[in-house]
Copies of this chain bind each other. A is one copy, B any other.
Amino acid sequence: MTTSGEPATLRERKKLRTRQALAETAIELFGEHGFDTTPLDALLDAVEVSRRTFFRNYRSKEDVALTAVKQLWSDFLVTLDGTEKSGSLVDVFRDALLTTLDHMDDAWYERFPATLRLIDRSASLNGHSLRHCAEIQTEAAHRLGDPRDLELRMLIEFCVATWRCALDEWLPDCAPGELPGHVRRAFSAMNDSLLLRA
């Protein structure tokens, strides 16, 4: 599910391999020496790829570091397309998210927490990550109704915010099996949080 169908031609397979090598090595290197303090050249030397080629595959240094996050949301939108929209939209969003998480493979569950830690430690990555979330939100709005509807946009903002809070809870241990539980708990807390009093 996380990786779409086989690339037919050898050329495409090779290209995909370098893409994956870049993404995986990026997480390793940045996790080891820090994102901001690791020059892009270190990654290029490690994977033995020229700068020109890198920038044909990824838009920026941040882009390659956020591969796991982008994979999740890309798959999420696919899941959303494939699910029947009925009942509470919050539930639709939450269930699509849980379904997507369920379909992720082990490799992803290894790289995703590492990516979260990188995001937490780098201001630049944080900004790029938040911006990507915002882009996904407008995509989700198109799939769930009229993207010009204020209440719909707010609902999606709330759902994504809830997801981020669930991640915050998960981040310390990052046990793969516990993520769905955190997501359910956070989504259950949505209504109560609005009722909080001083």
Q: Given A150-B165, A169-B150, A194–B155 Cβ distance below 8 Å?
A: yes
Cβ B88 vs Cβ A155 within 8 A: no
A126 to B131, CA, bound (A): 7
Neighbouring B residues of A127 by C-beta, 8 Å: 127-128, 130-131
> Which residues A135-180 have CB closer than 8 A to chain B?
144-145, 150-155, 157-158, 161-162, 164-165, 168-169
Protomer copies: 2
Q: Is residue A90 within 8 Å, beta carbon to beta carbon, of the partner chain?
A: yes
A153 cross-chain contacts in B, Cβ below 8 A? 165, 168
Q: How far is the CA of A152 from the CA of B169 in the complex (A)?
A: 13
A: residues with CB less than 8 A from B are 85-90, 92, 123, 126-128, 130-131, 134, 144-145, 150-155, 157-158, 161-162, 164-165, 168-169, 185-186, 189-198
